[in-house]
Amino acid sequence: MRKTDRILQVEDLRVYYKSIFGDVRSVDGVSFSVGSNEVFGIAGESGCGKSTLVEGILRVIMPPGYIKSGKIMFKEKDLLSLEEEEMRRLRWTELSYIPQGSMSSLNPVLKIEEQMVDAVTSHMSTPKEEASNMAISSLKEVGLPLEVAGMYPHELSGGMKQRVIIATAILLKPSLIVADEPVTALDVVVQKGILQSIANLRDIYGITVIFVAHDLAAHAQIVDRLTVMYAGKIAEIGSVYDIFGDPLHPYSKLLVAAIPSIEKEAVQGIPGLAPSPLDWPPGCRFHPRCPYAIPVCPHDEPPLKEMSPGRYAACHLLG
Amino acid sequence: MEEPLLELKNVTKEYTIGGGLGLTERKTIRAVDKVSFTILGKKPTIVALVGQSGSGKTTIARIILGLLEPTSGEVLYKGKDTRLWLKKDKKTYRHNVQVIFQDPYGIYNPFYRVDRVLFKAVKKFGLASSSEEAHKMVIESMRAMGLRPEDLLGRYPHQISGGERQRLMLVRILLMKPKLVVADEPVSMIDVSLRSIFLNNLQDLKERIEMSCLYITHDLNIAHYVADEIIVLCHGRIVEIGDAKSIVKDPLHPYSQNLVNAIPIPDPTKRWKDAAQIKEVTFEELRAEQGCMYSHKCPHVMPMCKKEVPPLTELGSGRKAACFLYPR
């Protein structure tokens, strides 16, 4: 990827939570970059730091969470050095965020249109009428009928509410949208529709998407490049075809082999437990569960190395 | 003829909603509508009950367990009504019909050690004659399910993972040796890497203690993996029954076809073909008022579909579908 193609670059980001037992190192030295116009997936088990990572990137991490160190470059801007007010102006206009479970956080006493107009007028000096038009065209873009604008959240189904959230996220035509588990809690048929609309954000509007989900099947359907996280660190980054077709890191290998599918006869789980962020194992954090561990693994932490252009993995077994 | 293990006959459950303070209209919703199916249990079988949210899956599970009364119809366990079992011989019924709930976090009392659920079961159902024997049984059963007793005995629920909590439920089942297990979305709240361990354990258990299982899920990837038979439920009615592999490979009912087409295959080279198009979402009623529940969305709808409910018709080799398109 050429340097100019990068829209977001994260370098050695550490996001910790303060606790009486010391720092909880949820995101512990994560580096990656996202190219413009791609759907970039972040996968991993619960507790691996996916949500904390994106909250850190968008600077919406709540205390006791805090950004320990690192650098986040978004289009030539260093996000961590921006004033809060500058950061606020970037949100929605340049960076949109669809938090986990956001479809249940729509205001129950405001009509959909009013909530969307609020989002516009608090970021731009757009007249109300124009903001209304923007809201309506945005709803249309995600496939919702116009009546939705005049309705209240309780009148909509879960899938429709999730579409309203996506419509709000694209209102001000941001360059990057971060969606955290947007399809969990929706059933299969609705899930398919939402995943299609997310893929469309890139295909039709040229918006870059960071898609966070624990469900690897969803990643396989829509993302271009995939990051596999384990215990606060990146295990592997690569094109989704490479990660599913030829995973390098033992964790990605086992994870891909562990998903039941109508195309597979037998699947095997990964034995052992995901470690606690209060007490990550020394050396490679995956070594207690790794069937391929060698004597060096419990001692040295493997660095994330570029194995081939655009393909990174952190494992001692790989050259 | 030997009686089937479990038989549902025209089970219907209606819920009344609204009517509070006379402000809203009182409405009756039929969550389960004349559902009939049989689990023979001659050889151990896992039957998956598949449907979208709101299709009545959990209601059926609760009726079988006797946690809900059906509005009409009956559930027979070994030829006898469950209500009768629960009245006359509750202990035998509870011993032989076990359950695994969806939420591995809600079922453990946080103040007690996790092994209490195992020792309680051993004691209550008199499975062991002494406490040494009970201890030995629990340890052996845990090992058989691939769990390490030294890691789990004496732990509190917050110290072990969701996957282990659900697998302890399997250990309990191994101890109890029930004839039937009702599992309601047992893996939806546990991590991906641990799901397949649970599913493999469940299949192992089926052979080991010769139990049958009604496995409730909305995920066809899992149903196909774990089950021998699949029952597809659409808004409280059964639309298709058949062997698991053939339902996924060749779904007959248009509703099942729609479900199968929505399965995300975890392989980027097999993406949905229609992935790029946005379909307009409309405010159609969730279900058709009359006739076939799927008639308002069905691409093959015929005039009679809107008037009459298609009966569940036998189509050979154990396959049944409720659609006027069949038999062709």
Task: Kindly state the percentage of chain A with pLDDT values over 90.
Answer: 64
Q: CB-CB: which of A163, A255, A262 is closest to B193?
A: A255
Least confident of A30-34, A298-302, B231-235, B316-320: B316-320
Instruction: Give first-to-last CA distance, chain B, whole Å.
Output: 33
User: What is d(CA A128, CA B244) in angstroms, rounded to the nearest whole number?
Assistant: 55
HEC letters along chain B:
CCCCCEEEEEEEEEEEECCHHHCCCCEEEEEEEEEEEEECCCCCCEEEEECCCCCCHHHHHHHHCCCCCCCEEEEEECCEEHHHHHHHCHHHHHHHEEEECCCCCCCCCCCCCCCHHHHHHHHHCCCCCCHHHHHHHHHHHHHHCCCCHHHHCCCCHHHCCHHHHHHHHHHHHHHHCCCEEEEECCCCCCCHHHHHHHHHHHHHHHHHHCCEEEEEECCHHHHHHHCCEEEEEECCEEEEEEEHHHHHHCCCCHHHHHHHHCCCCCCHHHCCCCCCCCCCCCCCCCCCCCCCCCCCCCCCCCHHHHCCCCCCEECCCCCEECCCCCCC
Q: Which two tokens stand for residue A127?
A: 């007249």
Q: Per-residue pLDDT tens for A212-242?
A: 998 899 999 999 999 999 999 999 999 999 9
Of B282, B240, B266, B254, give the one whose Cα is nearest residue A215.
Answer: B266
B200 touches chain A (CB under 8 A): yes
- Residue in B with minimal Cα distance to A151: B283
A145 vs B222: CB contact, 8 Å cut-off? no
B192 vs A255: CB contact, 8 Å cut-off? yes
How many beta carbons lie within 10 A of that of residue A91, not counting itself? 17
Q: Which two tokens stand for residue B19?
A: 């009517």
Residue A24 has pLDDT above 70, yes or no: yes
Could you tell me the pLDDT band of residue B285, with boundaries at 50, 70 and 90?
A: low
pLDDT at B283: 62
A174, A137 in Cβ contact below 8 A? no
Peptide bond into B157 cis (omega under 30): no
Residue B168 has pLDDT above 70, yes or no: yes
Residues in chain B within 8 Å Cβ distance of A216:
192, 266
A200 vs B276: CB contact, 8 Å cut-off? yes
How many beta carbons lie within 10 A of that of residue B312, not counting itself? 19
User: What is d(CA A52, CA A66) in angstroms, rounded to the nearest whole number?
Assistant: 10
Kindly report the average pLDDT of chain B as a whole number: 88
Q: Per-residue pLDDT tens for B74-128?
A: 999 999 999 999 999 999 999 999 999 988 888 888 899 998 999 999 998 989 8
ipTM of the complex: 0.81
pLDDT at A3: 47
User: What is d(CA A52, CA A55) in angstroms, rounded to the nearest whole number?
Assistant: 5
By the 10 Å C-beta count (0-12 exposed, 13-18 middle, 19+ buried), B90 is classed as exposed
Q: Per-residue pLDDT tens for A118-177?
A: 989 988 888 999 999 999 999 988 888 888 999 999 888 888 899 999 999 999 989 999
Q: Per-residue pLDDT tens for B6-47?
A: 999 999 999 887 777 777 778 888 889 999 999 998 899 999
Q: CB-CB: which of A45, A147, A264 is closest to B193?
A: A45
A256 vs B270: CB contact, 8 Å cut-off? no
Residue B273 has pLDDT above 80, yes or no: no
Q: Per-residue pLDDT tens for B237-265?
A: 999 999 999 999 999 999 999 899 888 99
Q: For chain B, what is the total number of helices (H) and then of strands (E)?
A: 11, 12
How many beta carbons lie within 10 A of that of residue A306, not counting itself? 10
A73 touches chain B (CB under 8 A): no
B221 vs A240: CB contact, 8 Å cut-off? no
pLDDT at A142: 86
B283 touches chain A (CB under 8 A): yes
252-281 in chain B: CB under 8 A from chain A? 258-259, 262-272, 274-281
User: What is d(CA A73, CA A6) in angstroms, rounded to the nearest whole number?
Assistant: 9
A221 vs B219: CB contact, 8 Å cut-off? no
Residue B282 has pLDDT above 70, yes or no: no
B199 vs A260: CB contact, 8 Å cut-off? yes
pLDDT at A107: 93
Q: CB-CB: which of B161, B194, B265 is closest to A261?
A: B265
How many beta carbons lie within 10 A of that of residue A99, not counting itself? 19
Residues in chain B within 8 Å Cβ distance of A143:
278-281
Residues in chain A within 8 Å Cβ distance of B285:
none
How many residues are present in chain B? 328
B195 vs A258: CB contact, 8 Å cut-off? yes
Could you tell me the pLDDT band of residue A298, with boundaries at 50, 70 and 90?
A: very high
Task: Kindly state the percentage of chain B with pLDDT values over 90.
Answer: 54
pLDDT at A78: 94
User: What is d(CA A231, CA B193) in angstroms, rounded to the nearest whole number?
Assistant: 14
Chosen from A137, A166, A192, A214 to mutate, greatest number of chain B CBs within 10 A = A192
B195, B104 in Cβ contact below 8 A? no
Residues in chain B within 8 Å Cβ distance of A240:
268
3-state secondary structure of A11: strand
167-196 in chain A: CB under 8 A from chain B? 187-193, 195-196
Chosen from B24, B151, B192 to mutate, greatest number of chain A CBs within 10 A = B192
User: What is d(CA A24, CA A279) in angstroms, rounded to the nearest whole number?
Assistant: 8
B192 vs A216: CB contact, 8 Å cut-off? yes
Residues in chain A within 8 Å Cβ distance of B219:
188
B262 vs A191: CB contact, 8 Å cut-off? yes
Chosen from B243, B281, B294 to mutate, greatest number of chain A CBs within 10 A = B281
pLDDT at A249: 96
Residue B276 has pLDDT above 70, yes or no: no
B200 vs A268: CB contact, 8 Å cut-off? yes
Nearest-Cα distance to chain A for B189, in Å, is 10
B195 touches chain A (CB under 8 A): yes
296-315 in chain A: CB under 8 A from chain B? none
Residues in chain B within 8 Å Cβ distance of A188:
52, 218-220, 259, 262-264
Q: CB-CB: which of B52, B196, B275 is closest to A187?
A: B52
Q: Which two tokens stand for residue B18?
A: 């609204």
Residue B280 has pLDDT above 70, yes or no: no
B191 vs A240: CB contact, 8 Å cut-off? no
pLDDT at B228: 95
pLDDT at A2: 47
B265 vs A215: CB contact, 8 Å cut-off? no
A166 touches chain B (CB under 8 A): no
B34, B73 in Cβ contact below 8 A? yes
Residues in chain B within 8 Å Cβ distance of A235:
none
Strand order in the sheet with B212-217: B97-100, B180-184, B212-217, B46-50, B229-234, B237-243, B320-321, B313-314
A192 vs B266: CB contact, 8 Å cut-off? no
